[in-house]
Amino acid sequence: MVYNVGVQQNISNRAVTPSFGAEKQEKRSKCENHDAIMVAEMKKHPISTNLKIQADKFVNACTKYPKKGLSGSKNANFYEFLTMGSVPYVVGSAMMIGVFNAASKFFDTPAAKNASKLGKKMGLGVLAYGLAKTASKKLIELPVKWKHGIDVNMPYKKVVYELPEEGNKDNLVTHEYHKVFESVDFPRWDLLYGNENFGPERNAYFEKVAKKMGMDDGDLEHADQKVKPKIKEKLVQTKVFSTLASYLWAGTAVGVAMQKPWESLKLGKGFVKDFGSKFVESCKQFVKNESKGATIAGRALLGAAVGVTLLGNFMTLFDFNKDKGSKTQASTSLIDNSKEKVVC
Amino acid sequence: MTNVLNNIIANQPIKPAKQAPLPAFTFNAEGKIKPLDDKAKLLPSRIFGSPIEYVKDLKQDVVNIGRAATGKANDHELGRINDVAMKLGSLGLAAYLFAKNPLKLSKAMEFVGFGTFFASMALWPKLAIQAPIKARTGVDIHQKYVDSQGRKKMLHQDPQYDLTDLYSREDLDKMGKKLGVSENLPDRDSFIKQRAKKTATQGNTLWMMTAGIATPVMSALACNRLEKPINNAIEAFDLKTSQKALETGKTGFFQKIKQSMADKAFSKFLAKNADKTVDEKMAGKIASYMGLNLNSASMQSAVASEIAGMTKAVTIDENFVRNALKGQVDDAIIASVVGTDAFKLAAQEGSLKNIATLLSQSAVEGKVAQQKLSGKLLATLGKAQKSGAKPTVGDVTEKIKGLYGSLSGLTSDKQILDRFVSARVGDKSGTYIANQWSRVCDGFIKSLGLNGKELKALADGDMSILSKKLAAISADDEAYNKVVSKLMKLIGDYEAKTGQKFIETVQAKSAQMSSAASEALSAGGFAEVAKKVSTEATKGTLKNVVDGAARERVAGAQSSFYRLLQSLDLFKRIGSSNAESKLAQMLKDAGKVADDAAVEKLIDAFRGIALSATATENIKKLKEVGIDLAEEEYKSIVKTLSPDLRFQLSSVLKKAGKPCNGTAVDKLLKACKDMVLNATTTDYVEKLKSAGFELSEKEYKAVMNVLFGEKAGSTIKASLGGGEQASAMLRGFGAYKSEFMSKVANWQNGMTPELSRCVVDAATNGANAIERNNLAGKPVSELVRDVAKQTYNSNKWLKIFGGTMIALTAVTLVAGLAIGRKSKIEKQLEQEGKQVNG
């Protein structure tokens, strides 16, 4: 048998129906793109929106995507595969904590005490790794956002039309959370045009970025053409430096978590105060340890993290390619625009 | 006229045109742009990648980081940079933890942890998912390809980006065969490609779902398994290199760097403080720089006082006299004297006394007044000389450096000796003594043949199992011989590495280094420091610190090992103590006795006599109690009874006038077991007392002699058999036994602690409490409990996470079996000879 059902036939049964521009007849009548940039939500409720996106992705990564993936669905895609990557992170972190803590309850008291000392440090180390890795990226990303107006994490909700398949012929529309700039080769420029949140002009976003980047030479009519290569260049730099710095900060955080004061950390009353004082003490020990080697190594690790972060800030906030023009591989034009051509 | 320019142009060598960069597009015949030809190709399908390729890729990644920093990178490169950054960050952390951990093993394990984690991350999907699926379906879910731009990517990364056209005819046929796709299916290739894509999607999902559990657990298990071999390798390396350093006298690379840094810091300190006066405080500071690895407070203080005592030479001349005596003697008088030859001579000789006399003779008249003034002037001049002699650091830098130089030989020798001692008997984990301790203890625990429950009970302190197990081993000759020879082998190796020869080496080396340093110091004029490092073994000197530390540790562990043998021997002797029944049988066979009562009477009579006396005497004594024996019969009975433990103990009881029947002996044996397993240095007697045996000094010694003295060790000897090696081993055990008997197994140890403290040193042949403790060793029960706890904990951990890993692997492999199967519709399609469309 051959399926004859098409997407259009099926979407009529769906809860979310794609609009073909009927609501905004006054502007354009052609089929509108349903992928929606979430700039308004991010402006109003940045934290809750982010949490919502992360929660939605993680729940799907644990439930829907494995189901699709394991059944070999033809609708499974790379986004789902990447999103499922959060599962080993979370489960792996829990396992790491477990490896050092789970068996200690069977041990007798002194052994349990020793195991618990190490377990506490390892547990904290795992949490510190994740926390520092995520938080430290902001040290590079936020200054870029403030200075150039480029939010590398700007999310958009993508509507995906799936193919009907065995066991699912009706519920064929689903959504994914992407980032406008997740690809440096193909940023979703289309989503940045004509968005009221950036301004009334169709080009408003690019005009704003051009101004912020000091590219306002009085002619902003084609700001998008001017600014796109620059945005790509800054995206690459922001990504590479935030990645490098994040792992160095994560290493530093684990180093702090491995200090002695944590061994006596107790849950219960006064935990926050206790945690705070132990954190301060551990940071001190990290840069000034009783072992000279550890002091040097600790300072080197911290120095590398701070150094890469500052270098990242320096490289991303200032424009060193201004005069030479952008050399971004992804942005280099391959085609001579002055010649007429036909693509076959 | 020749056109010069044309000539030049014409004569230019023809260079091949530089190859133009590859175009990003081509033109077709009509001059229209068309995409480049597809240059993508599959890479050979391999489970394990080539290391050369890995290094090449890594190099490219590092180059890419540099390019990306200036904004030049694409998505693919950024993705790869993420992996490199993760490894770099982890490597940085491992390096930090390496520096932080004081022990070599912990240091090594940081990098092992790093390595196993990333290895597990890479290996798990290959071994548990990729390889089995490939073997069953022919689909390599991690098949790689190179795209037209030369970037290596995964073929099945994105199921929506279909690259299955890259599969060759052979690939498709192979997969089709393994996937069981009917050969008659129309558009079979398309069907196979779809199945491959589906299989890869399933496999990749399974990978994501299992990696979180597998990676940390696999890594932890690998670390757990690798710890022991790495520890052994470090131990072997340390033993070898420290031995070599001792033989050649060359310090290691890191020590050289450390020493050179210390030298520089010292020179810097001297230069910085050149204008400061050398008072006691400064001398102490300087000494602390010289104390690198000397580890001795008295050495430091000797060096400090040597420096504090340093003076600078004061020139005795006209100016010195004028300044010193300003206000005390008129200038005119001084002027009249300083010009004289007598003054010049006195100044040259440095004789303040003569100068004072000359001045007093000029200043006053009358012998008495002159003498009085001379005395005063001498005192003033002396004081001025002394205060003028107090040097600054700069004044005596050369001298201090001389002292430092003389000591540096000692420092370097000391480092070498410290390393040699530390690698063998250092008080930290990873040393030979620590590892040998584990090997002996683990070997002993293993030989007990404990099951999980018994191990747990022992770890919880239920020591009844230990007695039962020891009794069981003793009853089985083969098991007994095995454990004894195993222990003896380990103890023999221990003695060879840490025994008398080792002690002698350390002593000789420390004497040699002390005398060499002492000579150098004496030659440099540093008598006080030289005295401190001289070969005389006075308390607090370097030599004693070195020797003492080594000795104590060796003795402590060695005694604990021998105590294991003591307990095995005692249990074996208890187990084989059947002389009474043997005797009864022997006498019955010979028709000598009527019943058991008669045998008991005979044995009781033997208990009362001293077997050391002559046969004739004893036969006479026995006759007196109504037992008439021929000499041969007597000798035969003595031969049967004398090695028997029960008989030996009952004889002691009989001679002490205490009940010596079977019940009493059983009670005593129980107390003996308690002693050998649990007693510490001071409570051997207490164990007997609490079992109801109030013994006199002589009786106590007799019991101890039976248990641990001459009679002990017979089963060990029998177990080892003959041979030179066995004799050498037994010699060590014999020496230990006699020392134990003389210093531990005596009456005084059983006194009340107060009284014991007063008399014990004298009564135990000068052994102090530490030495006695070292001789008694660790009580067997304590040793077994500690090892049982460790073993139990480690087994428990292994059980939990090993079990997790086995379960996960099983689930993954079973799940893998479902991957790549045909769905119902696919089966139907196949049957219908059709293919899935879209």
Q: How far apart are CA B60 and CA B84, in angstroms?
A: 11
**Cβ neighbourhood burial of A343 (10 Å; 0-12, 13-18, 19+):** exposed
Q: What is the pLDDT of residues B561-586, one digit of tens each?
A: 999 999 999 999 998 888 888 888 88
Mean pLDDT, range B76-87, rounded to an integer: 88
Comparing CA positions, the residue from A126, A294, A256, A260 lying closest to residue B95 is: A294
CB contact, 8 Å: B450 with chain A?
no
Smallest CA–CA distance, residue B176 to chain A, in Å, is: 17
CB contacts, 8 Å: A128 with chain B: none
> Could you tell me whether strands B26-27 and B144-146 are parallel, antiparallel, or unpaired per DSSP bridges?
unpaired
Residue that wins the pLDDT comparison between B387 and B287: B287
CB contacts, 8 Å: B459 with chain A: 108
Query: Residue B104 is inside which H or E element, if any?
Result: helix B104-124
Q: What is the pLDDT of residues B149-198, one digit of tens each?
A: 888 889 998 989 889 999 999 999 999 999 888 887 878 898 899 999 99
Mean pLDDT, range B397-401, rounded to an integer: 82
Q: Which of residues 109-148 of B touch A (CB under 8 A)?
A: none
Query: Residue B42 is inside which H or E element, if any?
Result: strand B41-42
Token readout for A147 is 């200075």
CB contacts, 8 Å: A304 with chain B: 92
| Coil/strand/helix, residue B476 | coil
Q: How far apart are CA A10 and CA A16, in angstroms?
A: 11
Q: Looking at the structure, do residues B280 and B158 belong to the same domain, yes or no?
A: no
CB contacts, 8 Å: B90 with chain A: 247, 251
Q: Looking at the structure, do residues B223 and B257 belong to the same domain, yes or no?
A: no
Binning pLDDT at 50, 70 and 90, where does residue B709 land?
Answer: confident
Q: Looking at the structure, do residues B219 and B103 belong to the same domain, yes or no?
A: yes
Per the CB < 8 A criterion, the answer to whether A173 and A14 are in contact is yes
Does residue B561 lie within any of the structural domains? no
Task: Find, in chain A, the residue whose alpha carbon is nearest to that of B195.
Answer: A72
Point out the residues of chain A with pLDDT beneath 70.
1-33, 103-114, 321-344
Q: What is the pLDDT of residues B601-660, one digit of tens each?
A: 888 888 888 887 888 888 888 888 777 788 888 888 888 888 888 888 888 888 888 888
Does residue B832 lie within any of the structural domains? no
Task: Find, in chain B, the residue whose alpha carbon is nearest to that of A255.
Answer: B93
Tell me whether residues A185 and B82 touch, CB distance under 8 A: no
- Please state, in angstroms and as integers, the Cα–Cα distance from residue A164 to each residue in A175, B199, B305, B798, following that order: 16, 19, 94, 47
Q: Which of residues 15-34 of B touch A (CB under 8 A)?
A: 24-25, 28, 32-34
CB contacts, 8 Å: A68 with chain B: 205
Amino acid at B181: V
Handedness of CA B490, B491, B496, B502 (dihedral sign): positive
**What's residue A4's pLDDT?**
38
Q: Looking at the structure, do residues B202 and B264 belong to the same domain, yes or no?
A: no
Which range has highest mean pLDDT (B40-44, B340-344, B586-590)? B40-44
Query: Residue B41 is inside which H or E element, if any?
Result: strand B41-42
Tell me whether residues B92 and A184 touch, CB distance under 8 A: no
Q: Looking at the structure, do residues B69 and B121 belong to the same domain, yes or no?
A: yes
How many CB atoms are closer than 10 A to CB B149?
A: 13
Task: Considering only the beta carbons, identify the residue of A106, A251, A297 that sits closest to B99.
Answer: A297
Comparing CA positions, the residue from B422, B343, B414, B329 lying closest to residue B376 is: B329
Mean pLDDT, range B43-66, rounded to an integer: 82
Does residue B508 lie within any of the structural domains? no
How many CB atoms are closer than 10 A to CB B508?
A: 10
Per the CB < 8 A criterion, the answer to whether A89 and B212 are in contact is yes
What is the DSSP annotation of B291-333? Answer: TTTT--HHHHHHHHHHHHT-------SHHHHHHHTTTTS-HHH
**What's residue B723's pLDDT?**
78
| Residue A78 CA, distance from chain mean position | 16
Mean pLDDT, range B730-752, rounded to an integer: 75
Mean pLDDT, range B511-528, rounded to an integer: 80
**Cβ neighbourhood burial of B451 (10 Å; 0-12, 13-18, 19+):** exposed
Q: What is the dihedral of CA B369, B374, B376, B377, to 10 degrees?
A: 140
Comparing CA positions, the residue from A286, A282, A281 lying closest to residue A299 is: A286
Handedness of CA B86, B89, B95, B101 (dihedral sign): negative
Residue that wins the pLDDT comparison between A153 and B330: A153
Tell me whether residues A301 and B92 touch, CB distance under 8 A: yes
| Coil/strand/helix, residue A165 | strand
Q: Which of residues 209-268 of B touch A (CB under 8 A)?
A: 209, 211-213, 215-217, 220
**What's residue B549's pLDDT?**
66
Domain count, chain B: 4
In this model, does residue B83 exceed pLDDT 80? Answer: yes
Q: By mean pLDDT, which of A136-145, B7-16, B251-260, B400-409 is the weakest?
A: B7-16
Q: Looking at the structure, do residues B305 and B344 belong to the same domain, yes or no?
A: no
Percent of chain B residues past pLDDT 70, beyond the cut? 89
| Coil/strand/helix, residue A177 | strand
Binning pLDDT at 50, 70 and 90, where does residue B12 land?
Answer: low
Task: Find, in chain A, the residue whose alpha carbon is nearest to that of B458.
Answer: A108
Tell me whether residues A247 and B90 touch, CB distance under 8 A: yes
Smallest CA–CA distance, residue B95 to chain A, in Å, is: 7
Token readout for B84 is 């490199």
Amino acid at B114: F
pTM: 0.76
Mean pLDDT, range B320-335, rounded to an integer: 77
What is the DSSP annotation of B636-669? Answer: HHHHHHTT-HHHHHHHHHHHTTS--SHHHHHHHH
Q: Where are the domains of chain A?
A: 36-317
Tell me whether residues A250 and B89 touch, CB distance under 8 A: yes
What is the DSSP annotation of A182-248? Answer: S-SSS--GGGGTT-TTT-SSTTHHHHHHHHHTT--SS--TTHHHHHHHHHHHHHHHHHHHHHHHHHH
Percent of chain B residues past pLDDT 90, beyond the cut? 13
**What's residue A106's pLDDT?**
61
Alpha helices per DSSP H over B350-447? 352-363, 367-389, 393-425, 432-447
When scoring A58, A63, A70, A317 by the number of chain B Cβ atoms within 10 A, the one with the most, hence best to mutate, is A70
Handedness of CA B102, B106, B110, B112 (dihedral sign): positive
**Cβ neighbourhood burial of B11 (10 Å; 0-12, 13-18, 19+):** exposed
**Domain, as residue range, for B202:** 41-228
Q: Looking at the structure, do residues B94 and B141 belong to the same domain, yes or no?
A: yes
| Residue B204 CA, distance from chain mean position | 43
Average pLDDT, chain B: 81
Smallest CA–CA distance, residue A233 to chain B, in Å, is: 4
| Residue A61 CA, distance from chain mean position | 16
> Could you tell me whether strands A36-37 and B41-42 are parallel, antiparallel, or unpaired per DSSP bridges?
unpaired
**What's residue A264's pLDDT?**
83
In this model, does residue B750 exceed pLDDT 60? Answer: no
Per the CB < 8 A criterion, the answer to whether B760 and B749 are in contact is yes
**What's residue B18's pLDDT?**
55
Does residue B518 lie within any of the structural domains? no
Mean pLDDT, range B349-362, rounded to an integer: 81
Does residue B663 lie within any of the structural domains? no
Tell me whether residues B201 and A326 touch, CB distance under 8 A: no
Q: Looking at the structure, do residues B265 and B372 belong to the same domain, yes or no?
A: no
Task: Considering only the beta carbons, identify the residue of A108, A184, A342 that sits closest to B73.
Answer: A184
Q: How far apart are CA B675 and CA B684, in angstroms?
A: 6
Q: Looking at the structure, do residues B218 and B258 belong to the same domain, yes or no?
A: no
Q: Looking at the structure, do residues B70 and B90 belong to the same domain, yes or no?
A: yes
**What's residue A128's pLDDT?**
92
CB contacts, 8 Å: A232 with chain B: 71
Per the CB < 8 A criterion, the answer to whether B392 and B272 are in contact is no
Per the CB < 8 A criterion, the answer to whether B310 and B279 are in contact is no
Q: Looking at the structure, do residues B136 and B261 belong to the same domain, yes or no?
A: no
- Please state, in angstroms and as integers, the Cα–Cα distance from residue B316 to each residue in A163, A267, B49, B327, B331, following that order: 111, 77, 85, 19, 17
Domain end residue (candidates: B350, B377, B404): B404
Does residue B807 lie within any of the structural domains? no
Which range has highest mean pLDDT (A60-69, A189-198, B665-674, B728-737)? A60-69
Predicted ipTM beyond 0.85? no
In this model, does residue B58 exceed pLDDT 70? Answer: yes
Q: Looking at the structure, do residues B201 and B111 belong to the same domain, yes or no?
A: yes
Which range has highest mean pLDDT (A13-27, B586-600, B725-739)? B725-739
Per the CB < 8 A criterion, the answer to whether A253 and A128 are in contact is yes
Comparing CA positions, the residue from B577, B501, B561 lying closest to residue B243 is: B501
Q: Which residue spans within chain A are E strands per DSSP?
A: 36-37, 155-161, 173-179
Q: How far apart are CA B358 and CA B346, in angstroms?
A: 9
Q: What is the pLDDT of residues B441-457, one digit of tens each?
A: 988 988 888 888 898 99
Task: Find, in chain B, the residue whose alpha carbon is nearest to that of A90.
Answer: B212
Tell me whether residues B209 and A236 touch, CB distance under 8 A: no
Cβ neighbours for B731, distance < 8 A, ≥ 6 positions apart: none
